[in-house]
């Protein structure tokens, strides 16, 4: 077993390499949103050894987060279209508006995720999650 500092350095190096690859991504520079999201989600899942990685954007009415792209690493598949309505999960949206990062090592017992656990997290086998907010002009625009 490697010391924690070696594991951190290894992860840090892998993340830096992934960021460098994404910064040079041809899809990003060609304004190909789907291609850029595909590359970002697969890179993130691979680098952090995640089962799933996704990008959700707040719709124009600011009434729902809409899944733009979800990557399932085990299947190597992509999907989109899921929605989380603000009216159905106000606690989650409140938590997202309060900070840049929502990390939950136990989604079953995290009150911020209680509203989406039964219909969104449990069916997909999600036991832990980290949600980083995307902000535009100081306002939540996605995760």
CA distance 39 to 21: 9
In this prediction, residues 68-75 reach a mean pLDDT of 95
117-132 residue pLDDT tens: 999 999 989 999 989 8
CA distance 8 to 14: 10
CA distance 130 to 105: 8
Whole-number pLDDT of residue 135: 86
34-55 residue pLDDT tens: 888 888 889 889 888 889 999 9
Average pLDDT, the chain: 85
Quick count: other Cβ atoms within 10 Å of Cβ 23? 9
DSSP code string of 63-109: SEEEEEEEEETTTTEEE---EEEGGG-HHHHHHHHH-SEEEES-GGG
């Amino acid at each position: 077993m490697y010391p924690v500092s070696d594991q951190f350095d290894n992860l840090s190096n892998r993340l830096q390499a992934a960021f460098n690859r994404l910064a040079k991504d041809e899809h990003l520079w060609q304004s190909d949103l789907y291609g850029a999201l595909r590359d970002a989600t697969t890179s993130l899942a691979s680098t952090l050894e995640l089962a799933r990685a996704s990008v959700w954007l707040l719709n124009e009415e600011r009434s729902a987060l809409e899944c733009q792209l979800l990557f399932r690493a085990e299947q190597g598949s992509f999907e989109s279209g899921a929605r989380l309505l603000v009216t159905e999960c106000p606690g989650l949206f409140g938590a997202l508006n309060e900070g840049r990062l929502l990390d939950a090592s136990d989604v079953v017992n995290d009150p911020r995720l209680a509203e989406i656990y039964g219909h969104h997290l449990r069916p997909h086998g999600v036991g832990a999650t980290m949600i980083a907010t995307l902000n535009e002009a100081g306002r939540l625009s996605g995760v």
